């Protein structure tokens, strides 16, 4: 394989160094900006810490902490970011800088009054309409900084987001407004994990944000049912981008690639932008990830949040005979059409309770039962798109508790939704494949490399655990 072409991997043979460090080195060799996010399986964040992390909009990844990537909080304006209007020649003693955090319901004129700048608003009204608009809806929680000189507003800096600065500065003939965007740096990051309970928990453990976990679940969800198909020991590696502002993490961007081992089958997909600039996700063989049918009518987010602290397969006891599949979910969970089609039934249907049936192309139809209510603005005959909400989970009809009963029929014949072979999306046309292969080759090679490094680390972790606390995963 590619192993001996990559110097970084050879370092794995050196037993004297900690595996984590070695992985970092391999990774660094691969790409100057790559960061290895990996948590040893023995390290479990305390629940409280997890919860706290979940509440932070931008949780720092463990890697960022381990590597000290992000410097300590920095002043939001660097020297070179000083607003142009900060007059260097003004006597410093005259100027006062006041800091304020926007409160719910605040208006700019209210804030100016609060600081004794009663006359300023009138001048600000002379700003262009589109500039005034930027100051019209201040976001609660965001910072404002006012420089007051000789009782008048010299400068106002409002930061509606981490990367935007709106600067209002006094000029001879009134005020001028300037909007600045801070430079954003993108870094490529990867994480790997083995599933013990759920992809969600494994993702958290690997330091992934909810956003990335959900994106991963939705992408893999085209092929894998995250309620029924997932097994303990399934493995993932995900490659994604993070944005940094002044060395501080700002947010997660999109996923670049995923490798997922589900039971014995490996799925590898990557984000690809074609020559025409259109971006979508494709499997390594060129098949589009998106398909004519979803595996599962519930959002990954709903399914996973519902059972994130339970064991696998938290579904209701099956009642036999059973011609569909049941998904336990909270009442009111949105139910999505698994494919484009036309609603041909939308009413109570005996033991099914409130039921929607959709007819799709090529003789396919799907049924959704026990709904608490239907999708808005739809009726029999309505055309619905894939992922459109057509109802909400309930327990109408013969049902022991809130759940979705889902059936899949081909040519009127019931098929097991879990095992039925769903139509695939069309592969990339032959003419586009060379570009696809050329563009994604590096990324799949990177996935390989990371995976091998990760597997090696798993092996070491298992050896170091004296066999007492070995990996639950594969040999
Ligand atoms: Zn059922």
- The predicted pLDDT at position 21 comes to 39
- The predicted pLDDT at position 474 comes to 33
User: How much distance in Å is there from the Cα of 361 to the middle of ligand 1?
Assistant: 24
Identify residues whose C-beta is under 5 A from ligand 1, the ion: 326, 405
User: How much distance in Å is there from the Cα of 82 to the middle of ligand 1?
Assistant: 63
User: What are the residues whose beta carbons fall under 8 Å from the beta carbon of 99, sequence distance 6 or more?
Assistant: 143, 144, 145, 146
Containing H/E element for 152? Answer: strand 152-158
User: How much distance in Å is there from the Cα of 321 to the middle of ligand 1?
Assistant: 9
User: How much distance in Å is there from the Cα of 124 to the middle of ligand 1?
Assistant: 63
CB 139, CB 106: distance < 8 Å: no
Q: Which residues in the chain land under pLDDT 50?
A: 1-91, 305-320, 467-475
- The predicted pLDDT at position 373 comes to 97
Among left, alpha and beta (phi > 0; psi -120 to 50; other), residue 466 is left
- The predicted pLDDT at position 92 comes to 53
User: How much distance in Å is there from the Cα of 405 to the middle of ligand 1?
Assistant: 4
User: How much distance in Å is there from the Cα of 352 to the middle of ligand 1?
Assistant: 8
Nearest to 338 by CA among 389, 377, 283: 389
- The predicted pLDDT at position 73 comes to 32
User: How much distance in Å is there from the Cα of 202 to the middle of ligand 1?
Assistant: 29
User: How much distance in Å is there from the Cα of 322 to the middle of ligand 1?
Assistant: 6
Count Cβ atoms within 10 A of the Cβ of residue 367 and give its class: 0-12 exposed, 13-18 middle, 19 or more buried: buried
Phi, psi dihedrals of residue 29, rounded to the nearest 5°: -65, -35
User: How much distance in Å is there from the Cα of 325 to the middle of ligand 1?
Assistant: 5
Count Cβ atoms within 10 A of the Cβ of residue 183 and give its class: 0-12 exposed, 13-18 middle, 19 or more buried: exposed
Q: Which CB contacts under 8 angstroms, 24+ apart, belong to 431-436?
A: 432/274, 432/275, 433/286, 435/274, 435/275, 436/272, 436/274, 436/282, 436/286
- The predicted pLDDT at position 241 comes to 95
User: How much distance in Å is there from the Cα of 357 to the middle of ligand 1?
Assistant: 15
- The predicted pLDDT at position 465 comes to 61
User: What are the residues whose beta carbons fall under 8 Å from the beta carbon of 195, sequence distance 6 or more?
Assistant: 201, 202, 230, 231, 232, 233, 234, 235, 236
- The predicted pLDDT at position 10 comes to 29
Tokens found for residue 26:
């391999």
Q: Domains of the chain by range and CATH?
A: 3-70+189-283 (3.10.450.350), 84-181 (3.10.450.350), 314-415 (2.70.70.10)
Q: What pTM does this model have?
A: 0.68
CB 98, CB 154: distance < 8 Å: no
User: How much distance in Å is there from the Cα of 38 to the middle of ligand 1?
Assistant: 39
User: How much distance in Å is there from the Cα of 373 to the middle of ligand 1?
Assistant: 17
User: How much distance in Å is there from the Cα of 316 to the middle of ligand 1?
Assistant: 9
User: How much distance in Å is there from the Cα of 14 to the middle of ligand 1?
Assistant: 54
């Amino acid at each position: 394989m590619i192993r001996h072409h990559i110097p970084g991997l050879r370092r794995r043979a050196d037993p004297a160094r900690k595996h984590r460090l070695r992985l970092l080195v391999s990774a660094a060799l691969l790409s100057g900006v790559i960061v290895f996010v990996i948590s040893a399986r023995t390290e479990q964040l305390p629940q409280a810490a997890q919860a706290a992390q979940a509440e932070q909009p931008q949780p720092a990844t463990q890697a960022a902490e381990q590597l000290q990537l992000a410097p300590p909080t920095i002043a939001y304006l660097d020297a070179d970011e000083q607003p142009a209007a900060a007059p260097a020649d003004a006597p410093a003693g005259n100027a006062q800088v006041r800091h304020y955090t926007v409160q719910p319901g605040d208006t700019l004129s209210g804030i100016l009054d609060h600081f004794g700048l009663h006359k300023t608003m009138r001048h600000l009204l002379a700003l262009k309409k589109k500039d005034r608009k930027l100051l019209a809806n201040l976001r609660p929680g965001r910072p404002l900084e006012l420089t007051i000189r000789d009782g008048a507003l010299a400068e106002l800096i409002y930061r509606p987001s981490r990367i935007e600065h709106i600067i209002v500065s006094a000029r001879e003939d009134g005020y001028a407004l300037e909007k600045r965007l801070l430079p954003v740096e993108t870094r490529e990051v990867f994480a790997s994990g083995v599933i013990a309970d759920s992809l969600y928990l494994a993702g958290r453990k690997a330091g992934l944000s909810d956003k990335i976990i959900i994106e991963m679940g939705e992408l893999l969800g085209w092929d894998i049912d995250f309620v029924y198909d997932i097994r303990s020991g399934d493995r993932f590696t995900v490659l994604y981008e993070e944005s940094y502002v002044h060395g501080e993490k700002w947010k997660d961007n999109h996923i670049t690639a995923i490798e997922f081992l589900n039971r014995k089958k490996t799925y590898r997909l990557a984000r690809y932008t074609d020559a025409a600039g259109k971006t979508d996700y494709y499997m390594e063989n060129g098949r589009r990830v998106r398909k004519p049918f979803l595996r599962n009518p519930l959002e990954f987010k709903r399914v996973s949040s519902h059972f994130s602290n339970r064991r696998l397969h938290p579904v209701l006891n099956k009642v036999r005979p059973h011609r569909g599949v049941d998904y336990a979910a909270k009442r009111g969970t949105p139910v999505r059409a698994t494919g484009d089609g036309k609603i041909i039934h939308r009413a109570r249907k005996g033991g099914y309770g409130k039921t929607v049936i959709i007819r799709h192309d090529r003789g396919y139809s799907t049924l959704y039962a026990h709904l608490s209510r239907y999708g808005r603005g739809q009726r029999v005959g309505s055309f619905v798109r894939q992922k459109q909400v057509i109802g909400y989970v309930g327990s109408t009809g013969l049902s022991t508790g809130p759940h979705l009963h889902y059936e899949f029929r081909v040519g009127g014949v019931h098929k097991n939704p879990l095992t039925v072979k769903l139509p695939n999306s069309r592969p990339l046309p032959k003419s586009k494949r060379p570009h696809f292969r050329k563009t994604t080759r590096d990324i799949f090679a990177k996935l390989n490399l990371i995976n091998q490094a990760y597997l090696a680390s798993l092996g070491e972790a298992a050896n170091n655990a004296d066999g007492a606390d070995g990996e639950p995963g594969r040999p």
